[in-house]
Amino acid sequence: MSSTVDVDPALLKQLEEFRMAKRSSGSAAIIIKIDKRKLLMSVEESYDDTTLEELGDELPENSPRFIVLSYKLEHKDGRVSFPLVLVNWQPTTSPVDLSTLYASALSNFAVQADVGKVVDVRDGVEGFTKEFLDERLGAA
């Protein structure tokens, strides 16, 4: 299966290191953008020990992104885990051509990133909350 968008080898290496990192608090994230001219995915920014609110403030309001998120998930029974989640950031105000480009690359990237869950966020920062993610990940 091929995608019209390639993944930068440096991004794959960074994702592997990110996946293997030990975490004990907070959430960590890598924000990924697609260069429309080169049709290449690369890291836009990475964060360690951040909150969803801080991360949401850094995301563009009118442009899609992929976020690989190591999320601190507190289960109902008191356990804490750090699942690897791919957030498909697709604000409704994004241009159609960009939204289509990201949508076409999503499935292939989810496999290459080796994430446990894909979560779509379309409501902007207001929809990107702890409650939203906890519900999607089965902890709420």
Q: For the residues 29-39, what does the mean pLDDT come to?
A: 95
User: What is the CATH code of the structural domain delimited by 6-136?
Assistant: 3.40.20.10
Instruction: Measure the CA–CA gap between 25 and 121, rounded to whole angstroms.
Output: 24
**Tens digit of pLDDT for each residue in 46-93?**
998 888 888 988 999 899 999 999 988 888 888 888 889 999 999 999
Instruction: Measure the CA–CA gap between 9 and 24, rounded to whole angstroms.
Output: 28
Instruction: Measure the CA–CA gap between 66 and 97, rounded to whole angstroms.
Output: 16
For the chain, what is the mean pLDDT? Answer: 89
Q: What is the pLDDT of residue 1?
A: 40
Query: Which residues does residue 43 pair with via DSSP β-bridges, in sequence order?
Result: 32
Instruction: Measure the CA–CA gap between 95 and 59, rounded to whole angstroms.
Output: 15
Return left, alpha or beta for 19; rule: phi > 0 is left, psi -120 to 50 is alpha, else beta. Answer: alpha
Q: Which of 76, 34, 75, 27 is CA-nearest to residue 48?
A: 27
Q: Tell me the HSE value of 122 on the side-chain side, using a 13 A CA sphere.
A: 6
Q: What is the pLDDT of residue 73?
A: 85
Instruction: Measure the CA–CA gap between 20 and 70, rounded to whole angstroms.
Output: 10
Return the minimum-mean-pLDDT range out of 12-21, 24-33, 121-130.
121-130
- Grade residue 2 by pLDDT with cuts at 50, 70 and 90: very low
pTM summary value: 0.89
Q: Where are the domains of the chain?
A: 6-136
